[in-house]
Chains A and B, each alone.
Chain A
């Protein structure tokens, strides 16, 4: 093979591993972003992205605030008792530099970006917060919230709707506004997802395993938070579960996350950082 052909072959090898997002996904995101932009412009608010709007109108936790997030212990296969994780919000930018520091504190990630989150191939595993209900959220169910085509079989491609659902305590899914944020590879962020129905707003930074997961082993790929005003918030952690290989490479080596949950009246009800072990 000629050197030039060798080069082309090498670039082909590199390019073949990059998933090309579906045009339909891009178009859908573009329309949504345009809608938000136009709406914001009409309201006289300068915004860039839907998520920025969502975050901007929410109360931010102040440094020193005592906070707590509760969730189930155990795994989805063996749900355990409720675990509440208390913590104190650290100043913005005060990110721990070692794992030991991270373990000792709750921190706030300083930045929200606007990349979409990838989706696990099997659908997130759900454990309801009361510890009695376990279910697999199949791709078709995810499709209620995102895009079934996107969620079904191509977990690695960017542009997918994040596998984040709002579910009532009775296990029925409800629409809600969610924004996912974070940074780096793992900070693939979505715009606001779904429709508001009064169930409140949750802002999640990065894929979560949270201290709840940390207290219960490393196999958790989904964590669900039962918030005391009636909806639960779930997301997943791919890094903790090697069997969920596709997202793990997407998330790379970034490993600090946070979660913030807000009640319908805008009150912060939960705030949690996460690290990987």
Chain B
């Protein structure tokens, strides 16, 4: 039984690891943080693998989202203090390293994490808006608004944002 679960999990990481890594990268502003949340999420997923139902990728993405929240909460509680001289720099999106080969990467880095994650789900994973809303546990119109704003910030072609106008109740003027 355990061997079977291990085999399944190994296969899952092999097949979906890249997708999850991209999602973690989209969500976090630093590579190391992305690796942290991915590591933690996979570990939690493995420890509960026997009860994973449905789409395991969506399941792990949800853990990654929770991990990110936990990470920020922990950082707040720990009151980390930096010294006055920073010895080195992490891999922020706005730094000239491999994250920033494209201007678009830099622009993505300027979005907040939730927006980046939504853009990723919508335009990389090709989830529809309802699925994005479900995964992010956000109202549909909120998803539309965030994506709309994000696309404008990214200054991408308007055809990408054509379906993003928040729906309005009848009778409400635009």
What is A's interface to B at a CB cutoff of 8 Å? 2-4, 6-24, 26-27, 29-30, 33-34, 93, 95-99, 102, 109-111, 113, 115-116, 156-159, 183-185, 188, 239, 242, 248-256, 275-277
- The reply on B38 being an interface residue by CB < 8 A is yes
- The answer to whether B39 touches A11, judged by C-beta atoms less than 8 angstroms apart, is no
B contacts with A: majority SS: helix
Kindly state the separation between the CA atoms of A34 and B160 in the bound complex, as whole angstroms. 46
Kindly state the separation between the CA atoms of A20 and B87 in the bound complex, as whole angstroms. 26
Given contacts A15-B25, A18-B22, A256-B81, 6 further A-B contacts (CB under 8 A): A11-B22, A11-B25, A11-B108, A13-B99, A13-B101, A185-B30
Q: Which residue of B lies closest to A12 (CB)?
A: B22
CB-defined contacts of A13 to chain B, threshold 8 Å: 98-99, 101-102, 105
B6 interface neighbour in A7, A27, A113, A251, Cβ under 8 Å: A27
Please provide the chain B residues from 124 to 168 with a CB less than 8 Å away from any CB of chain A in the complex: 124, 154, 156-157, 159-160
Please provide the chain B residues from 6 to 28 with a CB less than 8 Å away from any CB of chain A in the complex: 6, 9-10, 12-14, 17-26
- The answer to whether B120 touches A11, judged by C-beta atoms less than 8 angstroms apart, is yes
CB-defined contacts of B21 to chain A, threshold 8 Å: 15, 18-20
Measured CB to CB, the closest approach of chain B to A23, in angstroms, equals: 4
5 contacts between A and B (CB under 8 A): A13-B101, A18-B22, A183-B78, A254-B80, A275-B83
Given the known interface contacts A3-B159, A3-B160, A99-B85, the answer about A29 and B105 at a Cβ–Cβ threshold of 8 Å is no
Kindly state the separation between the CA atoms of A188 and B83 in the bound complex, as whole angstroms. 19
Q: Which residue of A lies closest to B161 (CB)?
A: A3
Please provide the chain B residues from 33 to 63 with a CB less than 8 Å away from any CB of chain A in the complex: 33-36, 38-40, 42-43, 46-47
- The answer to whether A253 touches B13, judged by C-beta atoms less than 8 angstroms apart, is no
- The answer to whether A253 touches B86, judged by C-beta atoms less than 8 angstroms apart, is yes
- The answer to whether A185 touches B32, judged by C-beta atoms less than 8 angstroms apart, is yes
Given the known interface contacts A99-B85, A156-B35, A185-B33, the answer about A30 and B22 at a Cβ–Cβ threshold of 8 Å is no
CB-defined contacts of B174 to chain A, threshold 8 Å: none
Given the known interface contacts A33-B47, A252-B30, the answer about A14 and B105 at a Cβ–Cβ threshold of 8 Å is yes
Measured CB to CB, the closest approach of chain A to B78, in angstroms, equals: 4
A18 interface neighbour in B10, B35, B40, B124, Cβ under 8 Å: B35
CB-defined contacts of A96 to chain B, threshold 8 Å: 81
CB-defined contacts of B32 to chain A, threshold 8 Å: 185, 249-252
- The reply on B1 being an interface residue by CB < 8 A is no
Q: How many A-B residue pairs have CB under 8 A?
A: 185
CB-defined contacts of A8 to chain B, threshold 8 Å: 123-124
- The answer to whether A26 touches B46, judged by C-beta atoms less than 8 angstroms apart, is yes
Kindly state the separation between the CA atoms of A265 and B90 in the bound complex, as whole angstroms. 40
- The answer to whether A11 touches B74, judged by C-beta atoms less than 8 angstroms apart, is no
Measured CB to CB, the closest approach of chain A to B81, in angstroms, equals: 5
B22 interface neighbour in A14, A97, A184, A242, Cβ under 8 Å: A14
Kindly state the separation between the CA atoms of A67 and B90 in the bound complex, as whole angstroms. 33
Measured CB to CB, the closest approach of chain A to B160, in angstroms, equals: 5
- The answer to whether B79 touches A21, judged by C-beta atoms less than 8 angstroms apart, is no
A276 interface neighbour in B46, B83, B105, B120, Cβ under 8 Å: B83
- The answer to whether A10 touches B105, judged by C-beta atoms less than 8 angstroms apart, is yes
Measured CB to CB, the closest approach of chain B to A174, in angstroms, equals: 28
- The answer to whether A6 touches B104, judged by C-beta atoms less than 8 angstroms apart, is yes
Kindly state the separation between the CA atoms of A8 and B32 in the bound complex, as whole angstroms. 21
CB-defined contacts of A26 to chain B, threshold 8 Å: 9, 13, 39, 42-43, 46
CB-defined contacts of A3 to chain B, threshold 8 Å: 156-157, 159-160
- The answer to whether A14 touches B108, judged by C-beta atoms less than 8 angstroms apart, is yes
- The answer to whether B90 touches A253, judged by C-beta atoms less than 8 angstroms apart, is yes
